[in-house]
């Protein structure tokens, strides 16, 4: 473990290093990145965005926490196995188009309607969003699993 | 958009392209890793400015999402490189037990 400070002569640099700035900043920016990923996920019908980019951005928000803190802390914060996230996303992505056979239309023909929500007014409800949620979960779980497998130290 | 602003935007895009060529030289030829990391961060910022100019030239606001995306990814990449240069490891297993 050759660090820049250790080569300069500080021997106990690993114990004494206080990362208070990166800890506090990552806690704030984590929420901003997660909010922006949900915004990208919701805006993906007519404007740039969608499940893939949203999932990658949500994964990168958790990667920021992995960089700022460590693997054990993040696993205590998010006590879900990444394989379970991938399985849930793939199940959602195969079940949502299959259930659309009950409408008597071909595969992947989505249905939509408009409902009235008290605060937001008229909101479009689209079944493509269920499929996109599956893509979101699959992409974020896969990216997190790859990063923790490649970048983590083995014990 | 008026003709004058259009000419200014095109001149700025060409200037940013020359700036990115200089940064590419520094990335390929940089003596140490620190030079390359700082240049990569500046490259991302210049790319954000160039996309903003392109969205001005095309008169659209859909590309503003891309600018924010590049900013966030570049921030995380810079944090990762900085931690690699400082500690030698990016994702620690348990930081209290000094693994």
ipTM score of complex: 0.82
**A47 lies in some domain:** yes
Query: Is it the case that residue A135 has pLDDT exceeding 90?
Result: yes
**A113 lies in some domain:** yes
Query: Is it the case that residue B44 has pLDDT exceeding 90?
Result: yes
Q: Are B64 and B55 in contact (CB under 8 A)?
A: yes
**A102 lies in some domain:** yes
Q: What is the pLDDT of residue B77?
A: 92
Domain count, chain A: 1
- Testing the interface with B: which of A2, A3, A42, A144 to mutate, by most B Cβ within 10 A? A3
Q: What is the pTM of this model?
A: 0.82
Query: Is it the case that residue A3 has pLDDT exceeding 80?
Result: no
**A129 lies in some domain:** yes
Query: Is it the case that residue A29 has pLDDT exceeding 70?
Result: yes
Of B66, B68, B93, the CB nearest to A70: B93
Q: What is the pLDDT of residue A89?
A: 93
Query: Is it the case that residue A59 has pLDDT exceeding 90?
Result: yes
Q: What is the pLDDT of residue A108?
A: 80
**What is the pLDDT averaged over residues A139-150?**
90
Q: What is the pLDDT of residue B42?
A: 94
pLDDT category of residue B90 using cuts at 50, 70 and 90: confident
**A155 lies in some domain:** no
Q: How many CA atoms lie within 13 A of A108 on its CB side?
A: 3
**A50 lies in some domain:** yes
Nearest-by-CA chain A residue for B87: A3
- Testing the interface with B: which of A48, A68, A74 to mutate, by most B Cβ within 10 A? A48
Query: Is it the case that residue A53 has pLDDT exceeding 80?
Result: yes
Q: Are A148 and A71 in contact (CB under 8 A)?
A: yes
What are A112's strand-pairing partners?
A: A126
Distances (CA, A) of B16 to A135, B22, B50: 36, 10, 7
**What is the pLDDT averaged over residues B4-30?**
93
* CA dihedral sign of residues B88, B91, B93, B97: positive
For A110, other C-beta atoms within 10 Å of its C-beta total: 15
Query: Where in the sequence is the domain holding A97, given as residue range(s)?
Result: 2-150
Residue B2 vs residue B97, higher pLDDT: B2
What would the two tokens of residue B59 be? 């008169």
A106-115, A140-149, B12-21, B84-93, range with greatest mean pLDDT: B12-21
**What is the pLDDT averaged over residues B74-83?**
90
Nearest-by-CA chain A residue for B72: A33
């Amino acid at each position: 473990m050759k660090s820049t400070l250790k080569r300069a002569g500080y021997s106990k640099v690993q114990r004494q290093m206080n990362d208070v700035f990166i800890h506090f900043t990552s806690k704030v920016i984590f929420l901003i990145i997660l909010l922006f990923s949900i915004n990208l996920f919701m805006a993906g019908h007519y404007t740039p965005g969608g499940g893939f980019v949203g999932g990658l951005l949500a994964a990168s928000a958790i990667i920021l926490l992995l960089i700022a803190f460590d693997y054990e802390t993040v696993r205590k914060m998010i006590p879900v196995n990444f394989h379970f996230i991938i399985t849930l996303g793939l199940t959602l992505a195969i079940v949502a188009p299959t259930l659309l056979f009950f409408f008597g239309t071909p595969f992947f023909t989505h249905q939509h309607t408009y409902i009235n929500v008290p605060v937001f007014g008229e909101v479009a409800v689209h079944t493509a969003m269920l499929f996109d949620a599956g893509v979101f979960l699959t992409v974020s779980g896969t990216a997190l699993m790859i990063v923790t497998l490649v970048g983590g130290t083995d014990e | 958009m008026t003709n004058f602003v259009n000419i200014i935007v095109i001149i700025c895009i060409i200037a940013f392209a020359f700036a990115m060529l200089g940064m590419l030289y520094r990335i390929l030829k940089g003596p140490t890793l620190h030079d390359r990391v700082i240049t990569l961060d500046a490259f991302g910022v210049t790319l954000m400015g160039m996309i903003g100019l392109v969205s001005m030239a095309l008169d659209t606001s859909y590309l503003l999402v891309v600018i924010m995306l590049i900013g966030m990814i570049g921030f995380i990449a810079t944090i990762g490189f900085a931690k690699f240069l400082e500690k030698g490891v990016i994702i620690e297993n348990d930081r209290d037990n000094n693994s």
